[in-house]
Every structure is written in structure tokens, then in C-alpha cells.
Structure 1
Amino acid sequence: MDTITLCNIKLYAYHGCLEEETLIGSDYRVDVKVKADLRKPAATDILEDTADYVLINQIVEEEMKVPSKLLEHVARRIADRILHEIRMVEQGKVKVSKINPPINGDVSSVSVNYSFTR
């Protein structure tokens, strides 16, 4: 199984359990890795034959715009849309990181890693 990886997608979003998190927002980083058989697009050189990383990035941007309390929920929505919209994807991982989380400590980020499979 081959992989396509999007690293360090930077976004500003409004996720969190605290009211101020949904009002003020914060910086996020998302990484996505999908697995699919890439032999056909490697041979044909046709965009429609592959798991288009532009579409994956668009899915991430759109789902990150929908406020959620939990990063787990956001990651699952991203994974579900990838599986629904890109049929050749068999499995993957989504990592959603909140930069400088409000947890009363010197922590640069917190992350949720969510694995998915068809």
C-alpha cells in the first residue's frame, strides 16, 4: 500500500470546551496520511486516478471551520469525509494539534492521532 502525506497544514479555528476557545480561537496544525494503491496514477499520470492531495487539504480546511469541543471529533469528521469522497483511500491517519493550548502549563501543543480504515 502506498502513501500520500500532507504535513503541517496550518489553520486558525474555534475548537474547545472552554467558551473563550470558541470565541477567540487559536492556531492548529493538521497532518494527514492516507494509504491507497497508487500504481494506476503512477502509470497514467492522470489526476483523477489518484487520491488528490488538493482535495484532502480542502476537506481539512472545511472540517476545521466547524467548531467542535473535542479534537477527536474534528479528526473523525476529516477521516469520514476522506473515506467518503476519495474511494481509493483504504486507510489513514489524521493528527490534529492545538498550538499553545490553555492548560495552565508550558506546553507547545496537544495532539490527537486518529486512525481510520475502510
Structure 2
Amino acid sequence: MSDLKELLEVKKCPRQYVLAVNDTLNVISGKWKMPIIASLLYGIHRFKDLQENIGKITPRMLSKELKELELNGVVERKVFNTTPVRIEYHLTESGKKILAVMDSMIEWGLEHRERVVEVG
């Protein structure tokens, strides 16, 4: 009887897991955040370098996304007291850990695409 009770018991995802997924999606959601993060995985970049590397992103959108990533503790902005002023962007330690998330997304995406193409 207890086996039947266990089978019928509804398992719930822990609330902190749902919150963690929402937090992650809030930080990396959007068309441009992951490309920006991917570009910064290869080192420190200036604004123009990021814009050239990503392509098709407007300066206004790049600035907005960098500010959001900075507010979320993923990107750090360093201003140098030079003439003209030099500004560089790099990933924080937290930002560097997104590589594992990105690798998992790529792996899942490749497998999913393969399955969908086979079916379609």
C-alpha cells in the first residue's frame, strides 16, 4: 500500500530551483546578452571591439545590454584616466561561470536540432 501512495504522491520542484532558473533567464535573456558574454569570454574588450565582433548590434543596444550585464554582476567596466578616456569590459568571476551554462546550451541545441531535423 505504501508503494502505491509513493507513486501517487506529486513531486514538486523546489521553489528555490524555480527562482534560480528565473534569475538565470533574467540575466541572459534577449538576443544580444549571450553574444556579448561569448565575446568577453575571449578577453577584455573595448566597446568598439565588441560592436565589431558581434555585428548588427546598434551602439545604443550594446550600451543598454552592457549596463544590464554590469548591474547583474556579470560584466565589469573599467575606466582609465587617459586622454581620450579608455573604457574596457571584462567578465566577472560570476560571468566566467556562464561558460558551463553556454556549453550545456550548445550541447542540448545540437542534439535537439538533430532530432528535429530527423523528424521533419
Judge same fold: TM > 0.5, yes or no.
Answer: no
Give TM-score, length-normalised by structure 2. 0.26
Judging by fraction of residues, say which structure has more strand.
1
Judging by fraction of residues, say which structure has more helix.
2
